[in-house]
Amino acid sequence: MTDNTIRVVIPLTIRKKNGRPKILPPADIQSAGARAQDPHVLRAIARAWNWRRKLERGEVSTLHNIAMAERVTDQYVGRMMWLAYLSPNVLERLVIHRQPPALALNDLMAVPDLPWTQQMERVFGSDSESSATH
């Protein structure tokens, strides 16, 4: 190595998120991008609401019809449809404020089974009340 060489070392962690590797910065650094909403979550919510509207309008009559049109399995449509039944407060924080959930997409699909009063804490963690005043 010569005297005019600069070596920069940045400690990074590689973790899998939704089955894909994601590079995480050191814990003491909080970038603006780290708080950005996962596009997979937004896309999943949009699909679920689109399917729900199709069912309500009578454009399709069953989840099987949706699955055939989308070329996915009935089970996939059934799991994803749960996202259309999240509480309005949770949906507002996810879609409008773009606050990322504290859990993975697969875990998010189980949240609508909870009462609306419990969903906020489950989706965003225990600090959801303090950050609700966006």
| Domain coverage including residue 52 | 35-128
In a domain, residue 76? The reply is yes
What is the number of domains present in the chain? 1
Distance, CA of 10 to CA of 74 (rounded, Å): 45
How does DSSP classify residue 118?
Answer: H
In a domain, residue 42? The reply is yes
Using one digit for the tens of pLDDT, what is the confidence trace for 88-126?
A: 999 999 988 888 898 889 999 999 999 999 999 999 986
pLDDT band with cut points at 50, 70 and 90 for residue 133: very low
Per-residue pLDDT at 23 exceeds 80: no
Per-residue pLDDT at 62 exceeds 50: yes
Please give the helix or strand (H or E) that residue 24 lies within, else none: strand 20-24
pLDDT at 69: 94
In a domain, residue 85? The reply is yes
In a domain, residue 67? The reply is yes
Q: Tell me if the pTM is above 0.95.
A: no
In a domain, residue 59? The reply is yes
Q: Return mean pLDDT, the chain.
A: 83
In a domain, residue 21? The reply is no
- The 10 Å CB-count burial string (b at 16+, else e) for 7-37 is eeeeeeeeeeeeeeeeeeeeeeeeeeeeeeb
